[in-house]
Chain A
Amino acid sequence: MTWIWILLAPLLGGLLYGGERVLRARMQRRQGPPLLQPFYDMFKLLDKRTLIVHAPHALLAVAHFFVLWFTVAAIFLGWNLLYIIFLHLFAQMLLILAGYSVRSPYSHLGANRELLMLIAYEPVLILVAVGFYLLSGSFEITEIMRGGNYLFQMPLLFAALLMIVPIKVKKSPFDVGEAHQEIVGGVEIEYSGVFYEFLYMSRFLEYLFIYSFVFIFGGVSCWLGSVLAAGVFLLVNLVDNATARVRTAQMVKIIYAMAMSLAVVNLLWMLV
């Protein structure tokens, strides 16, 4: 059963992304694209002529997608949380390498920003994992999901996670990595056709990755987890529609000053 979910993970993420586009449209009082729009885009991209800059560049996008898929599979199978975070780091490293491997300045700028985003959110993710460890005594997701009451024991860590969700799904105010017309997609800029599709699908997997972290906070009750994930989904989109983009340095400062200190305070409170 789990294997079927793992195989369907990109489709699941695609539905999530399509739903998000409809939701954002409704928040702006417009009709918005159909729910299956991401799949239409995918099929169209398959039918485009593909321009390749050089082979490793194209290969890195494919590798990025498959490593991310493996990461999401590891989450579904309930493996070690730290292992999952570092797998995800590996996937991001592949993307950053791809960004640096071409000569487009936008691609380099995007890779720089991607790196700074990584520096901002990675410590918070690890601190969240440590928080789970302190409460449940294990990094294994299967063990963590047997416990409960995470939200009430580590509310500040949850707030810290809430702050890094927009970075991961590339939403305002922390959407410097993509930055619509400013750097034209950053690392994605030199991709086209089939290879862009891999990056497009890896975005769906990023959604699954970060929202499953939110889901884990529900612990043993799947209901609480689902409500939390849905609430964060709504909140992130609301904030996305209501705020402007901050600069990269400001983003790192905000995350380090607020999310990190929230997380550390919560950990100290749990230890004492």
Chain B
Amino acid sequence: MKFFTPFRKKSPWVLHYNAGSCNGCDIEILAALGPKFDLERFGVINTGNPKQSDIFLVTGPVTYRSRERLVELYTQIPEPKVVVAVGSCTTTGGVFRGMYNVEDGIDRYIPVDVYVPGCASTPQLIIDALVKAGEILEHKSKEIEKPFKLFGAVQTIGNKLSRLTMAKKVDHDED
């Protein structure tokens, strides 16, 4: 509905996931949420629950073990959703790029909307990124967005998963 779209920007709820980060960026995110930088003035809440969030805030270079959870959390966020990659590691792999246990950033697995540079990225940058993410959220549709790859349980259930079949139906109808 056209009437409701402006309100997406005013209450972006955040899901924060640490995909093998060194905790530097996580601490900066917490600083941004804390009293000094006060992200709550934009209506941001750190929900910790994928089903109720709009923005997926990922830190870390996606270790081998964390990628399944990353993709699964991404599929559980209802649309419209925006992915924000916080820190050098998450955007490109950073100093870990090319290592055997690391996946060189999250955009191999899920579509990223906002990249935040910095090791560790500052709270000011994170605030800017969330404001930008709110703007992107406003222009997104409610069409189902899929990750690039599936792992583990999600892959085993595969197309029996109702959300993914729904996505297929949408594709089919548009053809």
Q: Do A and B bind each other?
A: yes
Using CB atoms and an 8 Å cutoff, list the residues of chain A in contact with chain B. Answer: 21, 25, 28-34, 37, 40-41, 43-44, 46-51, 180-181, 184-185, 188-193, 196
Contacts of A21 in B (CB 8 A): 40
Partner of B51 from the list A37, A40, A41, A192 (CB cut-off 8 Å) is A192
CB pair B51 A44 closer than 8 Å? no
CB pair A191 B7 closer than 8 Å? no
A55 CB, min distance to chain B CBs, angstroms: 13
Contacts of A37 in B (CB 8 A): 10-11, 43
Give the top 7 A-B pairs by smallest Cβ distance, nearest first.
A47-B4, A43-B7, A192-B51, A40-B10, A30-B38, A49-B78, A30-B35
Alpha-carbon distance between A21 and B10 when the two chains are bound, in angstroms: 15
Alpha-carbon distance between A230 and B51 when the two chains are bound, in angstroms: 35
CB pair A47 B78 closer than 8 Å? no
Partner of A44 from the list B36, B54, B163 (CB cut-off 8 Å) is B54
A111 CB, min distance to chain B CBs, angstroms: 16
B124 CB, min distance to chain A CBs, angstroms: 16
For the residues of B in contact with A, the DSSP-based class is loop
B23 close to chain A: CB less than 8 A: no
A45 CB, min distance to chain B CBs, angstroms: 8
Contacts of A185 in B (CB 8 A): 47-49, 52
CB pair B11 A189 closer than 8 Å? no
CB pair B11 A25 closer than 8 Å? no
CB pair B52 A47 closer than 8 Å? no
CB pair B78 A184 closer than 8 Å? no
A–B Cβ pairs within 8 angstroms, 9 of them: A25-B38, A30-B41, A31-B41, A37-B11, A41-B13, A41-B43, A43-B3, A49-B142, A192-B51
Q: Which A residue sits closest to B16, measured CB to CB?
A: A181
B80 close to chain A: CB less than 8 A: yes
Contacts of B47 in A (CB 8 A): 184-185
CB pair A44 B10 closer than 8 Å? yes
Alpha-carbon distance between A43 and B54 when the two chains are bound, in angstroms: 13
Other A-B pairs beyond A40-B10, A43-B4, 9, CB < 8 Å: A25-B40, A33-B40, A37-B43, A40-B7, A41-B13, A44-B10, A180-B48, A184-B48, A185-B52
B5 close to chain A: CB less than 8 A: yes
Using CB atoms and an 8 Å cutoff, list the residues of chain B in contact with chain A. Answer: 1, 3-5, 7-8, 10-11, 13, 35-36, 38, 40-43, 46-49, 51-52, 54, 76, 78-80, 142, 144, 163
A186 CB, min distance to chain B CBs, angstroms: 11
Contacts of A30 in B (CB 8 A): 35-36, 38, 40-41
A25-B38, A48-B79 known; A192+B4 contact, CB < 8 A: no
Q: Which A residue sits closest to B40, measured CB to CB?
A: A33
Alpha-carbon distance between A51 and B75 when the two chains are bound, in angstroms: 11
A44-B11, A44-B54, A47-B8 known; A32+B48 contact, CB < 8 A: no
CB pair B43 A50 closer than 8 Å? no
CB pair A192 B11 closer than 8 Å? no
CB pair A32 B7 closer than 8 Å? no
Alpha-carbon distance between A80 and B51 when the two chains are bound, in angstroms: 39
B6 CB, min distance to chain A CBs, angstroms: 8
Partner of A184 from the list B11, B40, B49, B79 (CB cut-off 8 Å) is B49
Alpha-carbon distance between A188 and B50 when the two chains are bound, in angstroms: 12
Partner of A46 from the list B4, B35, B163 (CB cut-off 8 Å) is B4
Contacts of B38 in A (CB 8 A): 25, 30-32
B69 CB, min distance to chain A CBs, angstroms: 15
Alpha-carbon distance between A247 and B3 when the two chains are bound, in angstroms: 43
B89 CB, min distance to chain A CBs, angstroms: 23
CB pair A32 B40 closer than 8 Å? yes
Contacts of B36 in A (CB 8 A): 30
Q: Which B residue sits closest to A41, measured CB to CB?
A: B11
